Structure 1
Amino acid sequence: MTKLSVNINKIATLRNSRGGNTPNVVQFAKDVQRFGAQGVTVHPRPDERHIRYQDTRDLKSEVYTEFNVEGNPVKSFMDLVLEVKPTQVTLVPDAVDALTSNAGWDTIKNKAFLTEVITEFKSHGIRTSIFVDPVLEMIEGAKIIGADRVELYTESFAHQYSLGNEKAIKPFTKAAELSNELGIGVNAGHDLSLDNIKFFKENIPGLLEVSIGHALISESLYLGIENVVQMYLQRLK
């Protein structure tokens, strides 16, 4: 079964919009694990507009499943990850002012930099995943730089699938097949939802983990968080 990691950034966004500590980010992480999620994901950005660095520290002792911390490996982020030592760090090349992640790494042009970063994290026992577009050369580059996993950036699939274009899955299937051949684990995330997750999972060989936040939280406004987590788990079997 593909693991479900719930990205809780949107819970922090809601909290920050009002001040105080409601909703409680740590309690929400504990709850989604209790409801069956096999992981918790956070993506702290330097401006701390949603998940704060301190949230990441507070969550460390409460995430008893898999803790995935995403972000651009600037110095402050690297220091945070090395302090918290999550199960997995996912490297994402988002600009400081990016609204959300919008592109994968060029693992060839950034070979030297990424190799250094990944080596540092792995030396501390942290599994490394790198956010990439479904481009075979980028998968090959991920192997060269020493990444344990790739996270396939799935926005293009989600958009095309919503228009009825099921063929949009093909480059993702090929990227996963190559990853499997190279011995790299396959994760995926961005705009995956209850509408498309079953089809995606069925067409991605060896899919280990999906990280879902925006859609899952939005769906929960109507259906309830416990129910939605269970719905995802059923689709991921």
Structure 2
Amino acid sequence: MTKLSVNINKIATLRNARGGDRPNVVQAARDCERFGAQGITVHPRPDERHIRYQDVYDLKEVVTTEFNIEGNPTPEFLKLVKEIKPAQATLVPDAPDAITSNAGWDTLKHKDFLTDVILELKELGIRTSIFVDPEERMIEGAALVDTDRVELYTEAYASNFHKDREKAIAPYLKAAQKAQEFGIGLNAGHDLDLDNLKYLHDTLPGLLEVSIGHALICDALYFGLENTIQLYLRQLK
């Protein structure tokens, strides 16, 4: 079964809008797990506009499912990951001022850098995943840097899903097949929601994990957090 990792960045965004500690991100993580989530994802950024670095340390003490920390592997980020030792570190090439992640790694251009970072993390027992666009050559590059997994950047799929879902998913299917060919685990994330998730899940072979935050939290405003997590889990059966 494909695991659902809930990204709780938006919980922190809401907290930070007013200051204080409401909603509490640690309690939100506990509740997500209690409601069925099989992982918790956070993506701390240098300006701490949502998840703060202290949040990550606090979450380490309570997360009992798979803890996934995403981010650009700057020295500060790598220090954090090495101290926390999450189940998975997802490396994302986002600029400090990016509103959200908007591109995957060029795994060929950054081969040496990624190889060194991944080796460091794997020596600590941390599973590595790198954020990539759905291009076969980027999967081939991912194999060269010895990553455990890739996370397919699914914004293009989500944007074109209602126009022509078969065309939208075609490059992702090729990328997934290439990942299987190289023995690389497959994750996916970005703009996945209750409309497009099931088709992605049913079409891509070997999909191990999806990381979903923005849409899930938006849906929770209407359906409630527990019910929403259950709705997403049903798409993954």
Amino acid at match of 1:129: S
Alignment of 1:152 onto 2:165: no
Matched residues in 1 for 2:163 and 2:29: separation? 33
Letter in 2 for 1:180: Q
The alignment-based identity, stated in percent, is 68
Contact 1:40 1:66 (C-alpha < 8 Å) held by counterparts: yes
Q: Does 1:79 align with 2:44?
A: no
Corresponding residue of 1:141: 141
Write the letter of the residue equivalent to 2:17. Answer: S
The answer for the alignment partner of 1:27 in structure 2 is: 27
The TM-score, its normalising length taken from structure 2, stands at: 0.99
Scaled by the length of structure 1, the TM-score of the pair is 0.99
Query: Helix, strand or coil: the match of 2:161?
Result: helix
- Aligned residue for 1:180? 180
In the TM superposition, residue 183 of structure 1 has moved relative to its aligned partner by 0.5
Partner of 1:98: 98
Corresponding letter in the other structure for 1:174: K
Equivalent residue, structure 1, for 2:55: 55
| 1:37 matched to 2:23 | no
Distance 1:179 1:164 in 2: 24
Can you list the C-alpha shifts for 1:204-226, whole angstroms capped at 9, x where unaligned? 10000000000000011111110
**In structure 1, what residue type is equivalent to 2:34?**
R
Aligned amino acid, residue 213 of structure 2: G
Asked whether the equivalents of residues 70 and 90 of structure 1 are also in contact (C-alpha less than 8 Å), the reply is yes
Determine the C-alpha separation between the residues in 2 that align with 1:72 and 1:216. Answer: 23
> How far, CA to CA, are the matches of 1:191 and 1:163 in structure 2?
15
Tell me the amino acid that sits aligned with residue 133 of structure 2.
Answer: D
State how far apart, in whole Å, the 2-side matches of 1:154 and 1:12 are. 23
Structure 1 residue 116 and structure 2 residue 116: aligned?
Answer: yes
**For 1:75-118, what per-residue CA distance to the aligned partner results, in whole angstroms no more than 9, with x for missing partners?**
00000000000000000000000000000000000001010100
Deviation at 1:164, TM superposition (A): 4.0
String of CA shifts for 1:118-160, please: whole Å, max 9, x gaps: 0000010000000000000100100100100000000000000
Counterparts of 1:167 and 1:72 in 2: how far apart (Å)? 30
- Tell me the number of residue pairs that the alignment of Structure 1 and Structure 2 aligns: 237
How far, CA to CA, are the matches of 2:46 and 2:212 in structure 1?
21
Q: Which amino acid aligns with 2:14?
A: L
Return 5+ residue gaps in structure 2 as ranges: none
Distance in 1 of aligned mates of 2:111 and 2:125: 21
1:170 aligns with 2:167: no
Deviation at 1:166, TM superposition (A): 3.0
Structure 1 counterpart of 2:197: 197
Alignment partner, residue 4 of structure 1 = 4
Q: Secondary structure at the match of 1:162?
A: coil
Structure 1 Cα separation of the partners of residues 62 and 169 of structure 2:
36
The answer to whether the Cα contact below 8 Å between 1:160 and 1:166 also exists between their aligned partners in 2 is no
Gaps of 5+ in 1: none
Distance in 2, matches of 1:229 and 1:163, equals: 27
Matching residue of 1:207: 207
Letter in 2 for 1:92: V
